[in-house]
Amino acid sequence: MNYRHLTPSMSLLLAFEAAARHESYTRAAVELSLTQSAISRQVQALEQQLGLTLFRREGRQVQLTDVGRLYQRELSEALGRIRSATLQALAHQSGVGTLRLATLPTFGSKWLLPRLNTFYAAHPGMLVHIHSRIEAINFDTSEIDAAIGVATHDLPGLICHRLHAEQLLVILPANAGEDAQPWTPTRISQELLLNVANNPHAWGEWFSHHALPHRTMRLGPSFELTSHLIQAVRAGIGIGLVPRVLVEDELDSGELYSAGEPFASQRSYYLIYPPRNENLPSLRAFRSWLLAQL
């Protein structure tokens, strides 16, 4: 077996990986600052070297073949390890580390950012670039090093550090606390109930916890961001069920009113990352700091 045949040049691999990730020669060309024809030539050269058909071409569109998708999956992971190794070497040489961290938008603004100054005070050579993400992170196709998100269990193939269980609170406008009639679970169940899109079953769990019939739920509008739901509650649109950690400031200041005790959802907050990033100096420093906060 000719090992050179099995080790295409990095330029061919980078062109294919970008084209495969986007399923577009045009977008790959923009990403790599090349022309579309250059991407096409490099992909064709790779196909000829391997003796494989990696893309199906339909007019101006390209789609991965089954073997192309398999090759992309393995190649993306390998390129990720190369980038991680390079970052670790650069960080070791310069004493400066960079972490690209994805986090839920409201958690980032309400919990993480107000505390991050203490991380910088302890690690003045480190930089944490915050990326807001709601959807699950594909570490093989993104430039993200680690993420903070919610899940019901450890995620396969990733290193997961459970930070804390999600505690949900029923929140109402501030003037609801002036009502002489108590806010019992039955009374709450009769109000318009606002939702967060990434946790659509929260109210159902709350109704089950309080032995209330689900058929009586009056589900209101759904919000992509928890911060938008909080603003909707403040505006009197309806009642919310949100993580306690995201409304502590509003409750302390009297901007919102909370009814009942915190309710433990089935989800927890996690710090997650692929095994290849475990020894990234910036991630090691951030991980130690984050776990100490909790």
pTM of the model: 0.69
Confidence of residue 286 (pLDDT cuts 50, 70, 90): very high
- Listed in order, the ranges of the chain carrying CATH 3.40.190.290 are 96-294
Residue pair 239/172 in contact (Cβ under 8 Å)? The answer is yes
Tokens coding 173: 């406008």
Alpha carbon distance 141, 186 (integer Å): 47
Packing angle of the helix pair 36-50, 25-32 (nearest 10 deg)? 110
Tokens coding 158: 């990733």
| pLDDT for residue 173 is more than 70 | yes
Confidence of residue 177 (pLDDT cuts 50, 70, 90): confident
pLDDT at residue 83, rounded to an integer = 77
Kindly tell me the burial class for residue 164, based on how many C-beta atoms sit within 10 Å of its own C-beta (0-12, 13-18, 19 or more).
Answer: exposed
Tokens coding 138: 């594909």
Count each helix (H run) and each strand (E run) in the chain, helices first. 11, 10
Confidence of residue 1 (pLDDT cuts 50, 70, 90): low
Across residues 201-206, what is the average pLDDT? 94
Three-state DSSP at 256 gives: strand
Three-state DSSP at 263 gives: strand
Give residues with Cβ within 8 angstroms of 248, minimum separation 6: none
Give residues with Cβ within 8 angstroms of 133, minimum separation 6: 102, 103, 104, 105, 144, 147, 149
pLDDT at residue 3, rounded to an integer = 64
Fold exhibited by the domain 10-88: Arc Repressor Mutant, subunit A (1.10.10)
More confident position, 85 or 69 = 69
| pLDDT for residue 84 is more than 80 | no
pLDDT digits (tens, 9 = 90+) for 6-48: 788 999 999 999 999 999 999 999 999 999 999 999 999 999 9
| pLDDT for residue 86 is more than 80 | no
Across residues 174-191, what is the average pLDDT? 91
Across residues 165-180, what is the average pLDDT? 92
Partners of residue 167 on adjacent β-strands: 264
Alpha carbon distance 263, 269 (integer Å): 15
Q: Report which DSSP code applies to 140.
A: T
| pLDDT for residue 162 is more than 80 | yes
- Listed in order, the ranges of the chain carrying CATH 1.10.10.10 are 10-88
Residue 228 Ramachandran class (φ > 0 left, ψ -120 to 50 alpha, else beta): alpha
Alpha carbon distance 294, 187 (integer Å): 35
What is the rounded average pLDDT for all residues in the chain? 90
More confident position, 214 or 260 = 214
Closest CA to 23 of 67, 49, 60, 75: 60
Around 157, how many Cα atoms within 13 Å sit in the side-chain half-sphere?
A: 5
Rg (CA), the chain: 24
Fold exhibited by the domain 96-294: D-Maltodextrin-Binding Protein; domain 2 (3.40.190)
Alpha carbon distance 202, 210 (integer Å): 13
pLDDT digits (tens, 9 = 90+) for 119-160: 999 998 888 999 999 988 988 878 899 999 999 999 999 999
Across residues 111-115, what is the average pLDDT? 95
Confidence of residue 87 (pLDDT cuts 50, 70, 90): low
